[in-house]
């Protein structure tokens, strides 16, 4: 079966940086609903369209194709008192983006006696990435999957969390 709109595609992948360091790697294949639903990078979706099980490809992607450029506006200096006592570098906090309703996840990058510096950039923002993948399965999506716009697991329980 070929990959086309409204098929569920399963693939194993490896995401690496320009120097070949592996940043992310699948333990088990992931599945997404093919056809512009935002389940995978659009550039990858384009490359996989019309392909079959066993197809392997490696796609070089610029920041525009993945997590965007690094945005210094997403770094904030907050008063130390706004955080819990045990705040430390590497912790994550959810917070509103400035002048916006959007919730962002901020990572603590520095803690001083008076301030905490947080950064809402994606860890891979501004990086050229290489996405290499192999298609492990292709099947028709169910009507429910199409209406929910994402793949459901074999056990029919699913959550709406996203890994990317």
Q: For residue 70, what are its two tokens?
A: 């690094």
Same topology between domain 7-66+125-148 and domain 72-119 = no
pTM assigned to the model: 0.79
Q: Please tell me the predicted confidence (pLDDT) of residue 27.
A: 94
pLDDT digits (tens, 9 = 90+) for 103-125: 889 999 999 999 999 999 999 99
pLDDT reported for residue 164: 43
Check residue 69 and give its pLDDT: 96
Contacts (Cβ under 8 Å, ≥6 apart) of 42: 36, 65
| C-alpha count within 13 angstroms, C-beta hemisphere, residue 102 | 9
Per-residue pLDDT of the chain (164 residues; tens, 9 = 90+): 999 999 999 999 999 999 999 999 999 999 999 999 999 999 999 999 999 999 999 999 999 999 999 999 999 999 999 999 999 999 999 988 767 777 889 999 999 999 999 999 999 999 999 999 999 999 999 999 999 999 987 544 444 444 44
| Domain segments of the chain as ranges | 7-66+125-148, 72-119
Which CATH number, 3.50.50.60, 2.60.120.10, 1.10.357.10, 2.40.10.330, labels domain 72-119?
2.40.10.330
What b/e readout covers 87-118, taking b as 16+ CB neighbours within 10 angstroms? eeeeeebeeeeeeeeeebebbbeebeeebbbb
pLDDT of residue 105: 92
CATH of domain 7-66+125-148: 3.10.50.40
């Amino acid at each position: 079966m070929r990959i086309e709109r409204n098929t569920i595609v399963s693939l194993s992948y490896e995401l690496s940086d320009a120097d070949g360091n592996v940043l992310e790697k699948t333990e088990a294949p992931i599945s997404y609903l093919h056809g512009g639903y935002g389940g995978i990078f659009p550039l990858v979706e384009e490359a996989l369209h019309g392909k079959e099980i066993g197809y392997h490809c490696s796609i070089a992607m610029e920041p525009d194709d993945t997590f965007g450029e690094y945005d210094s506006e997403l770094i904030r200096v907050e008063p130390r008192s706004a955080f819990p006592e045990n705040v430390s570098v590497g912790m994550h906090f959810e917070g509103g983006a400035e002048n916006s309703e959007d919730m962002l996840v901020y990572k603590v990058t520095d803690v001083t006696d008076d301030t905490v510096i947080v950064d809402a950039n994606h860890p891979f923002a501004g990086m050229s990435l290489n996405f290499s993948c192999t298609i492990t399965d292709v099947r028709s999506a169910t009507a429910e999957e199409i209406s929910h716009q994402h793949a459901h697991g074999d056990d029919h329980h699913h959550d709406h969390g996203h890994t990317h």
